[in-house]
């Protein structure tokens, strides 16, 4: 009986050793940097680094574009104010009709005010239809 127990114990130890060898080989293949999951993880890690760099470059380009657009918007607002002032000042000039005749000298700035407001309302209407 003791002999059978020893044989079974040796067989169990041999089976456990064989199982450990098989697991060791599988683990080596699993962690192989060229073919296994270890290689896939290494490739993905490199891709994450590349994507991080690309994202940082895109953010810096977007910030540069934002600053440029803010500058251009500010200039456009200044030009719009200047144009509005110039158009409003055009109403103060004498109106020429039929050659060199000037409008009557009884024209007052109050007469120009309705024309300026008409111009502004027409401009706002045009802006609304364009949008």
Each residue's pLDDT tens digit, 52-108: 999 999 999 999 999 999 999 999 999 999 999 999 888 877 777 655 554 544 455
- Predicted TM-score (pTM) of the model is 0.42
| Distance in angstroms (rounded) separating the CA atoms of residues 120 and 131 | 17
Distance between CA atoms of residues 12 and 5, nearest Å: 10
The residue written with tokens 């192989």 in the block is: 32
Radius of gyration of the chain (CA): 43
Burial of residue 123, with CB atoms counted within 10 A of its CB: 0-12 exposed, 13-18 middle, 19 or more buried: middle
Query: For the stretch 18-28, what's the b/e string if a residue is b when 16 or more beta carbons lie within 10 angstroms of its beta carbon?
Result: eeeeeeeeeee
Please give the pLDDT value at position 28.
86
Distance CA 126, CA 131 (A): 9
- pLDDT band with cut points at 50, 70 and 90 for residue 123: low
> Who wins on pLDDT, 14 or 43?
14
């Amino acid at each position: 009986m003791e002999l059978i127990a020893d044989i079974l114990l040796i067989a169990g130890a041999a089976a456990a050793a064989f199982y450990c060898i098989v697991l060791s080989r599988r683990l080596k293949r699993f962690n192989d940097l060229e073919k296994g999951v270890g290689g896939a993880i290494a490739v993905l890690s490199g891709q994450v680094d590349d994507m991080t760099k690309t994202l940082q470059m895109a953010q810096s380009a977007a910030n540069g574009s934002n600053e440029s657009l803010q500058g251009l918007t500010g200039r456009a607002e200044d030009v719009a104010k200047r144009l509005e002032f110039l158009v409003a000042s055009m109403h103060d000039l004498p109106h020429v009709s039929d050659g060199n005749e000037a409008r009557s000298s009884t024209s007052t700035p109050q007469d120009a005010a309705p024309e300026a407001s008409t111009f502004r309302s027409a401009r706002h209407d045009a802006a609304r239809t364009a949008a």
